[in-house]
Amino acid sequence: MIRTPQRAAYRVMLLAGVFAIPLAAGSRLGPVAAYAQSDARPPISVRSESDARREARAINERFVEAFFARDYAKAEGLVRRIIELTPDEYIAWYNLACVLTMRGRMDDAEEAFQQAVVRGFVDFHPLVRDPAMRPLRERDGVARVLDAWREVQDATIDARLERAQNGFGKTYVAQRDEQRRLAFLSGYPASSLRGVREEIDRLTAWWEQSVLPEGESAMSADPRRPDPWVLVVLPTVRDFNRWAAQTMGAKAGSVGGVYDHDRKELITQNLGSSLRHEYLHVLHWRDMARRGRVQPTWIQEGLCSLVEDIRIETDPDGRERLVPISSWRTNQVLGMARVGNLPAWEKFFAKDADRFVSSNPLANYAVARSIFLFMHERGVLRAWYTAYVAGFDADPTGKAAIESAFGMSAAEVEKQWRAWIRTLERVPDQNDAAKVELPLSIRPAGDGLEVSDVTTGEANLAGVRIRDVVLSVAGRRVHDLNDLARVLAPMAAGDRVEVVIRRGGNEPRTFTLTLRAP
């Protein structure tokens, strides 16, 4: 009824892992009174959160408790106080419309709904699905909005882009992807934004071909009722760090990306693993919203972590395809296996959201990813998801779908998974002692690795300069230090490699450099 708890939709990706605060397994988005917005965050911006907004967020917790206790009079008072503090918060206005509908005050409910739409509320799936909201849907003014579903959504995206651009600066470039219903705001050169859109195309194709049931699309099949636009902000490292410090406070140093489903906003620190993880959350949440079901945390984060580390293969027809591979998370699982600390699936699947993110979250993400990598390598990932969404109401944990996909008991599949883990090899990562390095000092730069010092005469003579950004080494993209560690692992000092570098907004150039011992 009221919208999904923000706790359920708001996620941050850690530099060394990710955590989410989702609804419990089996929660429904659909025909039950289970919509609640428990957190109201400011639009993506580098501006800090105001005292009024922080107070509103605290009150919102009490509002959710009152609403689910069916104390609608108390809930109305609390949500009206939230609106006093944050009058442009459209989710609060929508929640007020829900409360007033439950109280039978339909003129006031319709007015609150219109106020929500004016301020940017465009996700109408909860309203059309929930039978308790039928009295509001049948109001003439609300019905006209629903009839103009696409037009209302399209009318808001330019204003959202403008607000975000005001927050990050006029140098940021805005683009729209009409097909994917994504609006980009990028602090990077055009070549990097092109790469982002190519990555998104590959991820969408993978989602449709490897996960969704056959014949289903990543986008809404109803052209009259499309998926809401998602604002994708690609800030520079400096701007991202400012935003994280002002939004996340003490946790800022570990935040690598966010997808806020309620606001349909994505922000990412880099254009590699972090972008892939958060964009898959966009695709997954769109699917969950259309099905009206929220899947448990281990599934959400396991699926989205799966695409953090990939390789690109070319099929015989010349088409590129994405293939998930072992990652630094694999190293964590190997360590857990060595000391006999892998969790039993029965208990792991039953973890609620709070336990998943508060009790050894890095290990939880590593285990979840390994289960999905195992399914992927066994060729049953799509069969599992197909069985899972079909049988969700009977078993939201995912266990029954595993038995269906593998054709054996979950206990036997778990046994095979444990044996498979013992066959995996450790993946080179940034924490390893380097055996070889570029003749440059480098640091993360979002779309690559920024040159902070040119340490050899050869690099100087080749024309490499401080603040150049290394985009690829030996033909492989390097968005972060983990990427670079994997590329350099098999190489030796003295090897000559091609290094693609961009300088400012210019098109990338290729240099040939000699690797050296550290």
Domains of the chain are 6-294 (3.40.30.160), 310-421 (no CATH), 440-514 (2.30.42.60)
The identity of residue 340, as a single letter, is G
Q: Which two tokens stand for residue 452?
A: 């902070």
Distance of CA 305 to the CA centre of its chain: 9
Q: Give the DSSP per-residue string, 428-466.
A: P-TTSPPS-B-SEEEEE-SSSEEEEEE-SHHHHHHT--T
From residue 96, alpha-carbon distances to 3, 68, 140 in Å are 11, 14, 19
Neighbouring residues of 270: CB distance < 8 A, sequence distance ≥ 6: 256, 444, 446, 447, 479, 480
* pLDDT (0 to 100) of residue 353: 84
Radius of gyration of the chain (CA): 24
Neighbouring residues of 464: CB distance < 8 A, sequence distance ≥ 6: 440, 451, 454, 501, 511, 513
* pLDDT (0 to 100) of residue 28: 36
CB atoms within 10 A of CB 476: 14
Nearest to 446 by CA among 473, 474, 482, 478: 478
CB atoms within 10 A of CB 114: 17
* pLDDT (0 to 100) of residue 49: 53
* pLDDT (0 to 100) of residue 50: 66
* pLDDT (0 to 100) of residue 13: 25
- Single pTM value for the model: 0.86
* pLDDT (0 to 100) of residue 31: 23
Characterize 433-450 residue by residue with b for buried, 16 or more Cβ atoms within 10 angstroms of its Cβ, and e for exposed.
eeebbbbbebebbbbbbb
* pLDDT (0 to 100) of residue 290: 86
Residue 273 is given by DSSP the state H
* pLDDT (0 to 100) of residue 48: 47
* pLDDT (0 to 100) of residue 363: 95
Neighbouring residues of 360: CB distance < 8 A, sequence distance ≥ 6: none
* Strand, coil or helix: 196: helix
The span from the CA of 43 to the CA of 52, in Å, is: 15
Nearest to 180 by CA among 151, 160, 200, 202: 200
Characterize 71-95 residue by residue with b for buried, 16 or more Cβ atoms within 10 angstroms of its Cβ, and e for exposed.
ebebbbebbebbbebbeebbbbbbb
Residues lower than pLDDT 50 in the chain? 1-43, 46-48
* pLDDT (0 to 100) of residue 44: 54
Evaluate whether 278 touches 20 at the Cβ level (below 8 Å).
Answer: no
Nearest to 164 by CA among 1, 282, 250, 47: 47
Tens digit of each residue's pLDDT (9 = 90 or more) over 78-137: 999 999 999 988 889 999 999 999 999 999 999 999 999 988 888 888 788 888 899 999
What residues does 13 pair with on adjacent strands?
A: 18, 257
The span from the CA of 1 to the CA of 292, in Å, is: 12
Q: Which two tokens stand for residue 268?
A: 């990412």
The identity of residue 243, as a single letter, is W
The span from the CA of 9 to the CA of 23, in Å, is: 8
Q: Which two tokens stand for residue 60?
A: 């919102």
The identity of residue 405, as a single letter, is A
